[in-house]
Amino acid sequence: MLFKAIYLLPLLPAIGVLINGLLGKRFGEKTVAFVACTSVGLSLILAIGILHQMLIASPAERVITSSLYRWISDGSLQINVGFLIDPLAIAMIMVILFVGFIIHFYSIGYMEGEPGYRRFFVHLNLFIFFMLILVMGDNLILTFVGWEGVGLCSYLLIGHWYEKKSASDAGRKAFVVNRVGDFGFMLGIFLVIVTFNTVNFVELKTILAGNHGIPTVTLAIISLLLFTGAVGKSAQFPLHVWLPDAMEGPTPVSALIHAATMVNAGVYFMCRIFPFLQQSQFVLPIIALVGMITAVYAACCAVGQKDIKKVLAYSTISQIGYMFMAVGCGIYVAGMFHLVAHGIFKGLLFLGSGAVIHAVKGEQDIVNMGGLIKTIPVTAITFLIGLLALAGIFPMVGFFSKDAIIMGGYETYGIVYWLFGFGGAILTALYCGKLFGMAFLGESNFTGHVHKPNFFFKAPLVILAVCAVFLGILGIPMFTKNTYFAQFMGSSFNLGAGGHAAAGHGIPLSLEIAFTLILSVFAIAAIVLALFMYSKHRKTMVDFESRHKGLMMFLLKGFWIDKLYDTIWVRPLKWISFYSDSVCDHRIVDGAVNGTGKIAMEVGKTLSRMQTGYVRYYAVSIVFGVFVLVGITMMFLF
Amino acid sequence: MGFYHFLSLGIILFAIGVVGFVIRNNTIVLLLSVELMLNSVNLIFVAFSRYLYGTEGQIYVFIIMTIAAAEVAVGLAIVVSIYRLFGTLDISKIKLLKG
Amino acid sequence: MIEQAVFWMLGAVMIVGALGVILLPNTINSVMLLLLSMLALAGIYVLMGAHVVALFQIIIYIGAVLVLFIYVIMLLNLKEQGLKLPMQTFTYIISGFSLGLLVVVVWLFWQSLWGTTFTGGAGNLKASATVHQLAVDLFSQHILIFELTSVLLLVAAIGAIIISKK
């Protein structure tokens, strides 16, 4: 039975880390790549096996728990290292391992000849390991271990080219910003421990399902604290600032960590703790609000970006915003569907952008590209498929997943949410068109020889593109709550009543179809318009942009939010640190420390004169001490 | 002849040991003085054991004897190496510990 | 009566022997007098009915420890060094203190314990102090301390070898 072997899933990448990390010093590039890819590949095969078993099992048997050993034992609080796999987790695991394997494969070609080749693969494997721990952990603490582990790997991989100052700075920024979220996450865990005296998801769900008598306010605070962690990890407004900078890392890293898996961990986690979120009335609206703001804001920023990877980074933020919106609307099955879809097509887009950057020798500014469709057609076509999926054009997978979210927003919160979701989708279509038009169509602005991508580049792109086209099958039958994906997810252990059925009033099918048609028509119009304008009339558009320099800068810099944080956080902190260093540390602390040393030295010098070196004196002092002791004893005796 | 006599005997022996340890220069004699002191303690232990009709005192004496044997073994080894190092056993000439 | 006579004789021999240990100039004589003193002590143990202790006193101290001393003295081939007593102030002070302590403690014993006799002699032993009882206690209640001592002995033996090695 494969269910018994689920601990092998994270173990295999860990073995890969150990082999490459400890023994790999003498390995050639091929051996390192082989070990890394094999470990992830075996894990993927196992995961497919488990998925298969799960599909043929009855819905009641689809929740697998396995406890390895007791980890922390403190009175009544028992924490095990245990794994929990249900359809929710296996969906995430499939994304991680499938996209992860493809990106491992892609990296063989992409990182060829780079210094730090082995380090890269070790970190990549380590990331897969921690990500699986995060997803599979059956309690908050173990999940937190994975959570921090992927944060570490993200830091290491963003700063892979650490000789470049901007790369190491970006890594540090990601780390620090994540700390803000993780602080909330940790407080949330502490509050859960204090309130429930357990951290196991299954036990928590049982408690919450019963008549628990815990104040709603406490549950709301727990939810919001844990949500803070998710906001940090998933780069949601206002903690999104690290993700655009994280594009300093190698492109496979951006594809794997900062698009397909790690940044989605927040969404996954929200689904996992959904029983908490349901408990109070105002938590879900807050999540939906944050998701909506992020979705629209990041889409605006993406329009103004010039760097091909930053467009995709902001688009990632925006799409994750949509996922949070889905969670906030209570239809997190739709959110998970979008997560899977996004993992596929955004992985495809990043890998495509990597191929483009590789082809044009490190040029990342789309203004300096153009006409690339003639020289690298495979990359261009697959990239277009990814962009269409991102823009939500029928019949790509993005169409099904995004539509469900936007409709869910309408059902739960009314027309305003629909309008914002609609606006975000139109903006998405716009920057998709702009990106493709600038980079691949029109006149070539790139001077120099264009590298043709080799097999290692093409194969992953084609596979992912095929998936992006056909994964939409999971989203039918449309307009119902019973899509194939939802049927499978319905047996997740914490779905219960809510989950895929929106709490709202239900809207007529005709209205739903009408809204979908409107959305599709406008999106297609937007993408075609952008494609046309930026390919045929690029000069006009460039002129237009240069005339509105202020606005473009505003969008390019992400509404100046970085600058705002710099003013209100970074500079005061710097000033305090400087003050602490020059005054507190140098004068007060150093003075105290040195003073202590000086006093000890003086005392020692004085006392050392008593050390004559004659054994007799020491004996005498011992005898004298005995006399004193005996004298004191006698005083007490009589 | 009572308990008192034995205790007093032990104390006298101990005092002789202390004085010997302080006034002599020869390292071997110092060790002998230590033996004297240990023996006086043994004597007192046995006297108490007798006084209280218990076995503990005598058991402690066994332990102390063992420790004394160990101490002598190590002590004499040190004496031998001191003699090799300094060519003398006069402790008033050995003062490497001077601060 | 005989016991008392034996006690006083043995005590006198012991004290004189001990004084000889610390006052004789030649080391070998000191060792020999310590031997005498310890033999007398063994006799006193017998007086108190502690036969096993007396036996061990003779076997361990005289049979092993003092032989070791003599062996070392022969090994180092010590010449007669003469009795060079350090006539310094603190030796007087310490000796005075020791004697003072002696007097005080003896006086205290006199005050508190005079008349608390215990009937000496092997005939008056109670069961709790017999060899049998001693062995049972040593190997049941005090087995840990006993084993630890054996470890200590081993360590000391190794230590002695290492220290005296060139």
Q: Which residue has the higher pLDDT, A414 or A601?
A: A601
Which residue bears the tokens 């927040």? A266
pLDDT of A385-440, one tens digit each?
888 888 888 777 878 888 888 887 787 787 888 888 888 888 888 888 888 888 88
Instruction: Decide if pLDDT at A470 tops 60.
Output: yes
3-class secondary structure per residue, A445-459: CCCCCCCCCCHHHHH
What is the DSSP code (8-state) at residue A239?
S
Answer yes or no: do C59 and C102 share one domain.
Answer: yes
**Both tokens assigned to B87:** 């060519």
pLDDT score for C38: 93
CA of A607 vs chain C CAs: smallest distance (Å): 19
What is the residue-averaged pLDDT of chain C?
A: 82
Interchain pair B22, C94: CB under 8 A? yes
Burial of A113 (0-12, 13-18, 19+ CB in 10 A): exposed
Q: Residue A416 CB: number of other CB atoms within 10 A?
A: 11
- pLDDT band, residue C127 (cuts 50/70/90): very low
Same domain, C31 and C94: yes
Instruction: Please check whether residues C16 and C91 belong to one and the same domain.
Output: yes
Cβ–Cβ < 8 Å for A351, A259: no
Q: Which residues of C touch A617 (CB under 8 A)?
A: 90
CB of C142 within 8 Å of a chain B CB? The answer is yes
The answer to whether B21 contacts A619, with C-beta atoms less than 8 Å apart, is: yes
Is the CB of residue C25 less than 8 Å from the CB of residue C6? no
Looking at A228-237, B13-22, C28-37, C129-138, which range is the least confident one? Answer: C129-138
Q: What is the phi-psi region of residue C49: left when phi exceeds 0, alpha when psi lies from -120 to 50, beta otherwise? A: left
pTM of the full structure: 0.68
- Partner B contacted by C52 (CB < 8 A): yes
Interval C11-22: pLDDT, tens:
999 999 999 998
Contacts across the A-B interface (CB distance below 8 Å): 31
Instruction: Report ipTM (2 d.p.).
Output: 0.90
**Is the same domain home to C15 and C33?**
yes
Pair C6, C42 in one domain? yes
Q: Given an 8 Å threshold on Cβ–Cβ distance, is C163 in contact with B81?
A: yes
The chain A residue lying nearest B27, using CA atoms, is A615
Question: Taking CB atoms and an 8 Å limit, are A614 and B92 in contact across chains?
Answer: yes
pLDDT of C52-75, one tens digit each? 889 999 998 888 899 999 998 888
Q: Residue A506 — very low, low, confident or very high, per pLDDT cuts 50/70/90?
A: low
Residue A481 binned pLDDT confidence (cut-offs 50, 70, 90): low
Query: Any chain A CB within 8 A of the CB of C97?
Result: yes
The answer to whether C36 faces chain B, any CB pair under 8 Å, is no
Same domain for C160 and C91:
no
Query: By CA distance, what is B72's nearest residue in C?
Result: C65
Residues C91 and C157 in one domain: no
B52-86 pLDDT tens trace:
777 888 899 999 999 999 999 999 999 998 888 88
Structural domain span for residue C81:
2-125
In the block, which residue shows the tokens 């063994």?
A: C42
- Which of C86, C90, C97 lies closest to A627 in CB terms? C97
Distance between CA A420 and CA A426 in Å, rounded? 10
Q: Which of residues 55-74 of C touch B (CB under 8 A)?
A: 56-57, 60-61, 64-65, 68-69, 72-73
Touching check for C86 and chain A: CB below 8 Å? Answer: yes
For B96, which of A613, A616, A620 is closest by C-beta distance? A613
Please provide the DSSP assignment of B20-41 as one string: HHHH--BHHHHHHHHHHHHHHH
**Is residue A243 predicted with pLDDT exceeding 70?**
yes
> CATH code at C30?
1.20.120.1200
Neighbours of chain B (3+ CB pairs under 8 A): A, C
Residue A44: strand, helix, or coil: helix
**Residues C43 and C96 grouped into a single domain:** yes
pLDDT above 50: residue A631:
yes
Cα end-to-end span (Å), chain B? 51
What pLDDT is stored for residue B76 in this prediction?
Answer: 92
Chain C segment 15-74 residues within 8 A of A by beta carbon are none
Indicate the length of chain C as a whole number: 166
Is A466:A34 a contact under the CB 8 Å cutoff?
no
pLDDT for residue A497? 42
**A449/A451 Cα distance (integer angstroms):** 6
Cβ proximity of A244 and A558 under 8 Å: yes
User: Which residue type is seen at A304?
Assistant: G
C95 and C138 part of one domain: no
- Ranking A74-83, A478-487, A578-587 by mean pLDDT, the lowest is A478-487
In whole numbers, what is the pLDDT of chain A averaged over residues?
Answer: 83
For chain A, positions 605-634, list CB contacts with chain B under 8 A: 607-616, 619-620, 623
Disruptive mutation site among B74, B80, B86, B90 for chain C (greatest number of C CBs within 10 Å): B74
Q: How confident is the model at residue A498 (pLDDT cuts 50, 70, 90)?
A: very low
- Other beta carbons within 10 angstroms of residue A173's beta carbon come to 22
Condensed to tens digits (0 to 9), the pLDDT of residues A350-389 reads 888 888 888 887 778 877 777 777 788 888 888 888 888 8
- Examine the domain organization and report whether C77 and C139 are in the same domain: no
Give C88 to chain B, closest Cα distance, Å: 9
Q: Which residues of chain B neighbour A619 with C-beta distances below 8 Å? A: 21-22
Nearest CA in chain B to C95: B19
A384's enclosing H/E stretch is helix A377-391
Task: State which H helix or E strand residue A69 sits in.
Answer: strand A64-74
pLDDT at A492 over 70: no
Residues A421 and A291: beta-carbon distance below 8 Å: no
CB atoms within 10 A of CB A634: 12
Residue A255 to residue A133: CA distance in whole angstroms: 20
- Same domain (yes/no): C37, C83: yes
Q: Please tell me which of the candidates A616, A620, A630 has its beta carbon nearest to residue C101.
A: A630
Residues C118 and C149 occupy one common structural domain: no
Do the chains contact at B22 and A616, CB–CB below 8 Å? Answer: yes
Chains that contact C by 3+ CB pairs under 8 Å? Answer: A, B
Residue in the block written with tokens 């206690």 = C137
Q: Nearest-CA residue of chain B relative to A617?
A: B22
Tracing tokens 């043994």 back to the chain, one arrives at B42
3-state secondary structure (DSSP) of residue A70? strand
Q: Number of structural domains, chain C?
A: 2
Q: pLDDT tens for residues A206-234?
A: 888 877 788 888 888 888 999 998 898 88
B20-55 pLDDT, tens digit per residue, is: 888 888 889 999 999 999 999 999 998 888 877 778
Instruction: Evaluate whether C17 touches C134 at the Cβ level (below 8 Å).
Output: no
Angstroms from A612 CA to nearest CA on chain B = 5
Ordered by where they begin, the domains of chain B are 3-93 (1.10.287.3510)
